[in-house]
Amino acid sequence: MFAFRTNVVRFSSEKGDTVQAQDLFTYLRDQNPLVQCITNFVSMNVAANVVLAAGASPAMVHAHEEIADFTPICGGLAVNIGTLSPPWVDSMMAAARVANDTGVPWVLDPVAHFISGYRKDAAQRLMALRPTILRGNASEILAMAGEAGSGKGADSRDSVEAAQDAAVSLAQTFGSVVAVSGPTDFLTDGVRSVMVTGGSDLMPKVTALGCSQSALMGAYAGCGPAFDAALATLAHFKVAGTKAAARADGPGSFQPHFLDALYTTQAHELADVIKA
């Protein structure tokens, strides 16, 4: 069934039901949901282009003064703590609260939240607001669960397998869907879990692709249930990454090919990379 909210048509289902990733892909393309991206300076341009190429509409609106008016009209919200400052943290907190109050699904990307006390505090305060989806690399997910990891800045030095139990624990504690990105992605809602294969080892060598994945996840979350939205995003990225790698000579040529691949991906291809 479909539920109308502002200008967004959103697929809804009973808790525990599943929606095929390819169906959400089709809804995304049909509905072109608006996603608010409060993200870092490094990723703004990349994330906007990724969201556009995939089929949604990005808005890099972060001023605190606009939150009350803008966040409620969006299909989804993505919050990324990559380049923090006090005004940005205030806006992130305000947007997350408004999203919770108005039924807007939101994604938290706790970039390198373990590298300073200030960053850790901001991430924990945002996590306490129970994001719809938490997306991070293995080191970030381990640290969010209070476990020791070996991350270096925004780069993960831990395996996705090592973070699976932490992801399940976080999902059960906060009621969030948790996505762990890596060579093979892991996704869980605390009960269900799935792996997503594919992509390319060139992807970590292009700045902000992880951040842009969180932005696109916010757009997909505006189309349907959180678990299925996160799964569709991971699958869309893996399919596009594999295609782009086949044409690229290195990181520099990979990025434009990746945007093209996001755009040309077809719904039926997503099922090929999802492993129950």
Phi-psi region at 61: left, alpha or beta (left = phi > 0; alpha = psi -120 to 50): beta
Based on the number of CB atoms within 10 Å of its own CB, is 15 exposed (0-12), middle (13-18) or buried (19 or more)? exposed
Hey, is 108 helix, strand or coil?
A: strand
In the chain, the amino acid numbered 117 is: G
**Cα–Cα dist 49/184, whole Å:** 24
Residues 7-36 have pLDDT tens digits of 443 433 333 445 689 999 999 999 999 999
Residue 90 CB neighbour total at 10 angstroms? 12
Please say whether the beta carbons of 233 and 50 come within 8 A: no
Between 140 and 19, the more confident residue is 140
Between 7 and 161, the more confident residue is 161
Residues 49-107 have pLDDT tens digits of 999 999 999 999 999 999 999 999 999 999 999 999 999 999 999 999 999 999 999 99
**Cα–Cα dist 262/243, whole Å:** 9
Per-residue pLDDT at 73: 97
In the predicted model, what is the mean pLDDT of residues 255-273?
96
Of the pLDDT bands very low, low, confident and very high (cuts 50, 70, 90), residue 157 is confident
Of the pLDDT bands very low, low, confident and very high (cuts 50, 70, 90), residue 147 is confident
Per-residue pLDDT at 155: 54
Per-residue pLDDT at 156: 59
* Consecutive H or E run containing 196: strand 193-196
**Cα–Cα dist 81/109, whole Å:** 7
pTM, entire model: 0.90
pLDDT higher than 70, residue 209: yes
Based on the number of CB atoms within 10 Å of its own CB, is 1 exposed (0-12), middle (13-18) or buried (19 or more)? exposed
Helix-helix angle 44-54:209-221, to 10 degrees: 50
Of the pLDDT bands very low, low, confident and very high (cuts 50, 70, 90), residue 4 is very low
Phi-psi region at 20: left, alpha or beta (left = phi > 0; alpha = psi -120 to 50): beta
Between 152 and 119, the more confident residue is 119
**Cα–Cα dist 67/64, whole Å:** 5
Hey, is 208 helix, strand or coil?
A: coil
Per-residue pLDDT at 188: 97
Query: Buried (b) or exposed (e) across 156-186, using 16+ Cβ within 10 A?
Result: bebebebbbebbbbbbeebebbbbbbbebbb
Per-residue pLDDT at 149: 60
**Cα–Cα dist 267/250, whole Å:** 27
**What's CA 123's distance to the chain center, in Å?**
15
Q: Closest by alpha carbon to 54, among 246, 251, 225, 229?
A: 229
Average pLDDT for the chain: 90
**Cα–Cα dist 203/184, whole Å:** 12
In the predicted model, what is the mean pLDDT of residues 151-179?
86
Place of tokens 């808005």: 59
Residues 233-260 have pLDDT tens digits of 999 999 999 999 999 999 999 999 999 9
In the predicted model, what is the mean pLDDT of residues 202-211?
94
**Cα–Cα dist 197/262, whole Å:** 16
